[in-house]
Structure 1
Amino acid sequence: MNSEFTVAVHSLVLLAYLPDHMASSETIARNVSTNPTRIRKIMSSLRKHGFVKTKEGIGGGYILNCAPGEVTLAQVYRALSGGTLKPHWCSGNPEEDCLVSANIQVVMDHFFYEAEQHYEAYLEQNTLQTVLEKIRKCQQQQKTQQV
């Protein structure tokens, strides 16, 4: 799996958290701890899927274009990272005479497909709002531990 999904969720939850729901790529990049170019690439994909809008000019940036409680993590995953549980390379050789080598790719593909289905079903149960609430809960627990 690549990290685009995590960066996308982080960016969307940040926009949901901000009072005006808007931030520049530089602001988001600083918060995510990555570079603005990477953020612009991911945000472009999120814009194509309708999760964010852009505002040009001074004071512009990315604006949340969805209700955080209505967007599931599965929707974000499918938009940016669907199918990435399966690695790009798989061992084996279908041309080989060996039973294992000739069939391992097909069998492993099945496992990755099944895992992807379960993962998406789990993500479907959680929204951007769920993530924001869990973040707030973490912050409260940290404050409690400090006292």
Structure 2
Amino acid sequence: MNSEFTIAVHSLVYLAYVPEHMASSEQIAKNVATHPARIRKIMSCLRKNGFVRTKEGIGGGYILSCNPNETTLAQVYRAVSYGTLKPHWCTGDPEQTCLVSANIQTVMDGIFADAESYFEAYLHGITIHSVLEKIKLCP
């Protein structure tokens, strides 16, 4: 898993929280505590997937274009991080004569695919709005 998912969720929740649901990449970056260029990269992906739109010029920025009550974290995950649960490297060597080394990668691929399906199903029950509501309950 990479941090893009967390940054994307944070950014969308922040936009749902701020007045008029709009903020610049600098404002979002300050809230997320990361570099504005990283925010712009993630926001570009969110824009391509219809979660936000941009407003150019003075006073411009990113505007929430999805309904926080209906947008699930599963949708965000699919847009920015799908397939990242599985590590880029796996142990084993299919050319080995050892049963374990020859087959571990195939078995682990299946395990990670199942885990991603379960994770996505779990995220389907969580909306941007519900995350914001949980934040509001924090002391």
Q: Tell me which interval the TM-score lies in, with the shorter structure as reference length.
A: over 0.9
- Count, aligned residues: 139
State how 1:11-50 maps to structure 2 within 5 Å: 11-50=11-50
The aligned runs of 1:30-109 (5 Å cut-off) are: 30-109=30-109
Mapped to 2, the partners of 1:85 and 1:11 lie a distance apart of: 21
1:111-145 alpha-carbon deviations (Å, 9 max, x no partner): 1001000000000001000100000011xxx2xxx
Aligned to 2:112: 112
Deviation at 1:11, TM superposition (A): 0.2
In 2, the alpha carbon distance for the partners of 1:2 and 1:25 equals 20
Q: Amino acid of the residue matched to residue 37 of structure 2? A: T
Which residue identity does 1:11 align to in structure 2?
S
Displacement of 1:20: 1.2
Unaligned runs of 5+ in 1: 143-147
* Aligned-partner Cα distance in 1 for 2:70–2:24: 23
SS in 1 for 2:19: coil
1:63 is paired with a residue whose SS is strand
TM-score (norm 2): 0.99
What does the per-residue CA deviation read over 1:39-69, in whole Å, with 9 as the maximum and x for residues that have no partner? 0000000000000000000000000001100
Distance in structure 2 (CA, Å) of the matches to 1:22 and 1:39: 14
The one-letter code of the counterpart of 1:122 is Y
Q: Aligned partners of 2:127, 2:21: CA distance in 1, in Å?
A: 17
Q: CA deviation at 1:101?
A: 0.3
Where has structure 1 moved over 4 Å in runs of 4 or more? none
TM-score by length of 1: 0.94
- Partner residue, 2:128: 128
Identity %: 72
**Structure 2: 5+ residue stretches without partners:** none
